[in-house]
Amino acid sequence: MKTAVFPGSFDPFTNGHVDIISRALPLFDRIIVGIGNNTSKQYLFPVEERERWISGIFENEKKVLVKRYNSLTVDFCRQEGAGYILRGLRSSIDFEYERPIAHTNSRMAPGVETVFLIASEKFSSVSSTILREIIRHGGDVSEFIPKGIILPGRK
């Protein structure tokens, strides 16, 4: 069984994340959305809420599972029997950020391959970081996030 882990913070989950998962579905038998806990990050939304959103969005898609993890991504992959790490690339900045992580992960776990999908043109400027700023200032991010996500003040 071809299993991929799609690791991230998903703070919040966006249409860009949905797009990567949807496009990766034909490539894998199972995609585990892994909500990581990066000790150096302060999250805007509690992990329970992020998990609930993503599970709700994919409740009818049997190939998608949502799990939280606190370990290294490669250890989570081994634990789940996943041979692939799925990531999205929006820009050369993403690429330069991802490259050393992918190299280091492949040193640590040679059997786990990182697979990148180029962000769709339509979503390539959607970023959780920007959405968090808008949300913090009371702005409306509805057009950038899936319909199932309830945010304070959402129309």
For binding to ligand ADP (CB under 6 A), which residues are involved? 7-10, 14, 16-17, 19-20, 87-88, 90, 94, 119, 123-124, 126-128
41 belongs to the catalytic site:
yes
90, 106, 120, 132: which one is catalytic? 90
128 belongs to the catalytic site:
yes
| Whole-number CA gyration radius for the chain | 15
- The first and second tokens of residue 134, run together, are 């808008």
Nearer to ligand ADP, 84 or 123 (CB): 123
Instruction: Tell me 18's DSSP state.
Output: H
127 belongs to the catalytic site:
no
- The first and second tokens of residue 45, run together, are 């939304």
Nearer to ligand ADP, 53 or 123 (CB): 123
CB-CB neighbours of 57 under 10 Å: 21
To which residue do tokens 């509805």 refer?
Answer: 142
9, 50, 87, 128: which one is catalytic? 128
